[in-house]
Amino acid sequence: MSSILINSTIDLALPEWLQKCLRESSANRGETEDDRRHSDAVLIGQAFEFAYQLHQGQYRKSGELYISHPVAVAGLLRDLGGSPAMIAAGFLHDVVEDTDVTIEEIEERFGAEVRQLVEGVTKLSKINFKSKTESQAENFRRMFLAMAQDIRVIVVKLADRLHNMRTLQYMSESSRRRSAQETRDIFAPLANRLGIWRIKWELEDLSFKYLEPDAFREIQQHVSEKRAAREEKLAKATDMLRERLQQAGIDCQDISGRPKHLYSIYQKMQRQQKEFHEIYDLAALRIIVQTNEECYRALAVVHDAFRPIPGRFKDYIGLPKPNRYQSLHTGVIGLTGRPLEVQIRTLEMHHIAEYGIAAHWKYKETGGSTSQLTTTDEKFTWLRQLLEWQSDLKDAQEYLDSVKDNLFEDDVYVFTPKGDVVPLSPGSTCIDFAYHIHTEVGNHCAGARVNGRMVPLSTRLQNGDIVEIITQKNSHPSLDWLNFVRTSAAKYRIKQWYKRSRRDENVARGRELLEKELGKTGFDNLLKSEAMQTVAEKCNYHSVEDLLAGLGYGEITLNLVLNRWREVAKGQQPANVVPLFPPKEATTSKAVRDAPPISTRPCDSPIIGVEGLVYHLAGCCTPIPGEPIIGVVTRGRGISIHRQGCSNLESVEYERLVPVSWNCATEISSRPHTYPVNVQIEALDRVGVLKDILSRLSDQGINVRHAQVKTAIGQPALIDLGIDIRDRSQLEQVFTQIKKMSDILNIRRLGQIDE
């Protein structure tokens, strides 16, 4: 690296380790390319130099040079014991997104390993998505796929997120809250799943700071005020335990107090519904010994010195957490009569607790590519499940929900009859257990025994339960199971079975819908044609029958199928604007078709043809802008505006009809922003389906005026909604988003329209 560049970066206060790499990189500049690639320091120096040049002229919101962010990320990765390739990726993780450099150029300059890491953390900002939710979901899909190839990808991403959170104060209020919420929901649980406690607790505290600022400041102040008294009490307990451990002949490597981080205190206050002054165990004593045996001997010493609290002992050595965390936890009554938490572990367990998966390469000389842990490891079962569902969960919100579900901090540990340990999400039932064992075990589950006793399938499992599933060949899933299962895996597989088992019914429904639009004449031959097979393939289905099944189940909309059919029939590209409900000549009454043309002259009314007259929108068919409409002269209420095709028009005398249309020529300040529309949704009956639908409507800014749900045992739920819509284009978007949900069987607009 040139001395000019080194001098120009003095204002960055480069860390000593990086300066050393830069000096070595500059000294080796005369060597051949092959020799230089073998030098770790050279790789790091080259990555910094490349990133510095590309980010020149770029600044962060704080006013700092942008390169300060990659330097900080690389430093975090170095502290975690990251390889030179990881540190290089820390310098380069933003260059593809923020500059004109391609991922292929990264590989050419720094090799395939660095390319893979950079590509895994690069956001998909150059691709246009329909919504922020879809963009976020797609980013996570790509990130998890990259993790499957090399788990270090997420460590780079976590370092990137941690530094961004440390400098979040320079962002706008909305950006701070959005980043903090995403960090709490996704990245902090990810750090926990990987066992990187050092990053996990800081991400949680920083998220807490911006999401609940008042509670954060209050707890921070309380903790600060009592720090001196707490440290004095911990020092007394530490001295006493160190002396007793020495008397017992236990080689104690370290014994110290560890304050609990602020968010964990807040969680405890919320969980136990207590005020701060009622929370006593604000710190924990950590004892580090040499061997597993000494851990249990030290536990005996602790219980002899202090009175243990019943129910507060946990053995994570014999039964480690999925993230490889091991330790003995016990709660005792301290010297002052207040509860005290004590953790006992070996030095290796402590390294894993602090660095998680990073301890694999930081503290063990394994060499080669063994640091590239993949999903074949048993501890990454949760990641394998996410990858299995990637291609099947098409709805963005549903995928994000499954991600959050699988990143829960705590698990329930149950046993098979053979003694194998099965980790499940809290609140999991026998059905969740059955599907965790195997899909077919869940599909044919007929009963369950827990600890040797027959129990309902909805029984919530507890730590230590021994679960046995009884299967029968003729048994099959029930829709009622969706009301109590906990895990995303079980929900997804129940729905998949339901879709497959009702395939014939769904095919018939899809055929009926398509035949209604395309006509009965020659319809059978049409389904067998190459053109329809092309339509199926354009809709991502292997066969026409699969297309009909998807149409019948609601995986794909009729409008989309018709659009693809028009493309194939006409040999044209997709049109820019496609109507949700194609107008059908047969549905329009003769009186309406014969009505004289209307003027399209701009006027001051939202509806052309009623200027200066009293009018109202008909409640029977609720017309909205963008739809063909007709006016009817009424007695005492002026002109009633109907959708063309409204069944109420058939009995209206021709003389009472008034040709009208929506005024799209000018912006009308007096025009109402929204119009009432009634829709009916047919969905699988499960807990939370209405909440998920309302959440999607809320994301699109749709106001819901009323909602009514009708259910019957073993039957789909009927949900009637009254919503406020701007125009037909927005209604099309609403239908599209709701139909993406796997629970939705059908959705239609209510109104007296001749079909």
**Whole-Å CA distances, 18 to 1, 3, 6, 10:** 12, 14, 11, 12
Residue position matching structure tokens 């969980």: 271
Q: Which of 92, 85, 45 is nearest to 70 (CA)?
A: 92
- DSSP at 66: T
Q: Which of 205, 294, 281 is nearest to 255 (CA)?
A: 294
In the beta sheet, which residues pair with residue 661? 608
3-state per-residue secondary structure call for 148-202:
HHCCHHHHHHHHHHHHHHHCHHHCCHHHHHHHHHHHHHHHHHHHHHCCCHHHHHH
Instruction: Phi first, then psi: give them for residue 164, nearest 5 degrees.
Output: -60, -40
- Residues with Cβ within 8 Å of 265's Cβ and at least 6 positions away in sequence, in order, are 219, 223, 276, 279, 282
Q: Which amino acid is at 303?
A: H
Q: Tell me whether residue 98 is one of the annotated catalytic residues.
A: yes
Q: Which amino acid is at 198?
A: R
d(CA 326, CA 354): 11
Count the helix, strand and coil residues of the chain and give each as a percent rounded to the nearest 5: 50, 15, 35
d(CA 745, CA 493): 16
Decide if 427 contacts 490 (C-beta within 8 A): no
Q: Is 691 helix (H, G, I), strand (E, B) or coil?
A: helix
d(CA 90, CA 561): 45
Spell 507-538 as b/e; 16+ CB within 10 A means b: bebbbebbeeebeeeeeeebbeeeebbbbbeb
What tokens appear for 253 in the block?
């490597």
Length of the chain: 755
d(CA 710, CA 717): 6
The DSSP result for 376-422, as a single string, is TSGGGHHHHHHHHHTTT--SHHHHHHHHHHTT-S--EEEE-TT--EE
Q: Which amino acid is at 311?
A: G
- DSSP at 338: S
- Candidate list 24, 64, 97, 185, residue with the active-site label: 97
What tokens appear for 196 in the block?
């990187």
Q: Which of 104, 134, 335, 169 is nearest to 239 (CA)?
A: 335
Q: Tell me whether residue 97 is one of the annotated catalytic residues.
A: yes
Decide if 658 contacts 609 (C-beta within 8 A): yes
- Candidate list 98, 281, 409, 567, residue with the active-site label: 98
Looking at the annotation, which residues are catalytic? 97-98
